[in-house]
Amino acid sequence: MRGFTILFLLLGVVACQRSRDDQPQATTSSVGSGVARARTQQVTPPFDVKAPPADATKTASGLVYKKLVANATGLPIKRNDTVLINYTGWRQSTGETFFTNRSSGQPLPLNLTQAAPGFVEAMQLLHKGEKAVLWVPAAIGYKAPPAQGTPEALVYEVEVVDITPAPAIPDNVAKPPDNAVALPSGTKLVVVRPGTGKDKVRQFDTVTFNYTAWDGDGRMIDTTEQRNRTVTAPPYKQSAAMSEMLTALVAGERGRFWVDSEKMTNGGKPLPGVQKGVLCYEVEIVSAVKAEHEPPPSPPDVAKPPDGVKKSPKGVFYRVLQAGSGKDPRHPAPTDSVKVHYTGWTTDGRMFDSSMLRGEPATFGLQGVVAGWTDGIPMMTVGDRVRFWIPEALAYKGAPGKPAGMLVFDVELLEIVAPNAH
């Protein structure tokens, strides 16, 4: 498997995978089973791999290349493109072929955002339809150091079959211009193209949008545009930073944003492969559909339970907002299900779920919800509307992709459903 490991580290050959709705993901899957079959075939190189020909070109980084087939009118390759290539790789020290796709007859995709620095540089020297031999020094030939052994210089013969262009890198990708508008979080915005809508998107509207993101060096870290796959979701389902960007725009509008990378998290975790610093996002609202129902506003005491509220034995804070009529004095049992209207917020006032948006109540079994609900709901009677502050230990306990920290719920108990009655 040594050849496969070197191939993955050097080239970073990838194929696209589906992006998550709250946080758009980079392409990361590997070539697959063809590597094991192809790596055993030995191919005679067109040149002595140990000594490049005298007319080969050497760059400042130490990369050496010689074109075998030129096509100056072909589409050039840019920094973040995905290229479809045929290639063979040799170890410069021994001349051993460690990979080739010749026997498969199928070109392979290489996403340059996932490739080693030397290969990124080399591909930008080529055009569609060209073929070249590359001598790649060990210092620039690896995306990450090999787990076993030492880095070594490698030689490739590469033929560019096709190119999928990436969105153009903004000229000011590293720093917002002076005329950028600051959003409440500090994220900066410049409108790239005005929209056709009149009203800005709301947190609970359903939007269809595209986005592309780059780091400060212009490396594309994620995109829906190159994949031709939009995202459709309400902004509150996205990360807080993406939600703020979406709600700063109207339908048809395209904005360019500069946001701290630490704010662009996936379930509270940093985006993979992203260093600390400012990221540049371009976000475009393709369409927006206004929600038929609106959730309640964020409570004024959402940040923490105020003085004087009650506390359950397990540690759920609560206060009654509205008492029921008293006609049904029963309390739900732990084995019951309940029909409720509810809305949930994080303590920064960000809504993450609400039955009000769906326009109909939800029914839950008290044995299948977070511990804070199992503890708190049995203190209610039908008709009560109660606000709960649920500590993280009784909520999602830091589970990936779930709201983090203390959670706040407004719950109205509409009905107690006995076991096996629904």
59-115 pLDDT tens trace: 999 999 999 999 999 999 999 999 999 999 999 999 999 999 988 889 999 999 999
173: in domain: no
129: in domain: yes
Q: Per residue in 132-173, pLDDT tens?
A: 999 999 999 998 888 888 899 999 999 999 999 999 999 999
Q: Are 203 and 237 in contact (CB under 8 A)?
A: no
pLDDT at 34 over 90: no
**14 compared with 206, residue with greater pLDDT:** 206
Q: Which of 135, 164, 193 is the last residue of a domain?
A: 164
Helix/strand number for the chain, H first, E second? 5, 23
Same domain, residue pair 56 and 152? yes
43: in domain: yes
Mean pLDDT, residues 343-356: 95
295: in domain: no
What kind and span of H or E run contains 65? strand 64-69
Same domain, residue pair 19 and 130? yes
Cα distances (Å, whole numbers) of residue 403 to 140, 356, 359:
41, 19, 22
> 187: exposed, middle or buried (C-beta count within 10 Å: 0-12, 13-18, 19+)?
buried
Give residue 36's pLDDT band: very low, low, confident or very high (50, 70, 90): very low
Write out the residue range of the structural domain in which residue 281 sits.
Answer: 181-289
d(CA 410, CA 408): 7
For residue 159, what are its two tokens? Answer: 């033929």
Total structural domains within the chain: 3
Same domain, residue pair 24 and 101? yes
Q: What is the pLDDT of residue 227?
A: 86
pLDDT at 270 over 80: no
Q: What is the pLDDT of residue 266?
A: 58
Q: Are 88 and 96 in contact (CB under 8 A)?
A: no
% the chain with pLDDT above 90: 76
Same domain, residue pair 149 and 19? yes
Q: Per residue in 299-309, pLDDT tens?
A: 999 999 999 99
Per DSSP, the three-state class of 211 is strand
Same domain, residue pair 328 and 395? yes
Same domain, residue pair 317 and 205? no
Same domain, residue pair 110 and 137? yes
**220 compared with 39, residue with greater pLDDT:** 220
Same domain, residue pair 138 and 19? yes
Residues 6+ apart with CB under 8 A from 262: 270, 276
Same domain, residue pair 142 and 200? no
64, β-bridge pairs:
58, 135
Q: What is the pLDDT of residue 385?
A: 97
Antiparallel, parallel or unpaired: β 154-164 and 131-136: antiparallel
Q: Are 133 and 45 in contact (CB under 8 A)?
A: yes
Same domain, residue pair 158 and 244? no
pLDDT at 244 over 60: yes
Hey, how many other C-beta atoms are within 10 angstroms of the C-beta on 131?
Answer: 19
Q: What is the mean pLDDT of the chain?
A: 88
303: in domain: no
Same domain, residue pair 160 and 251? no
138: in domain: yes
Hey, how many other C-beta atoms are within 10 angstroms of the C-beta on 256?
Answer: 22
Q: What is the pLDDT of residue 33?
A: 24
300: in domain: no
Same domain, residue pair 219 and 130? no
Give residue 40's pLDDT band: very low, low, confident or very high (50, 70, 90): low
pLDDT at 31 over 90: no
CATH number at residue 314: 3.10.50.40
304: in domain: no
Query: What sign does the CA torsion over 117, 122, 128, 133 have?
Result: negative
Q: Which of 164, 198, 233 is the last residue of a domain?
A: 164
pTM higher than 0.75 for the full model? yes
Give residue 209's pLDDT band: very low, low, confident or very high (50, 70, 90): very high
Q: Which of 138, 164, 190 is the last residue of a domain?
A: 164
Q: Of 131, 112, 128, 108, which Cα lies nearest the Cα of 120?
A: 112
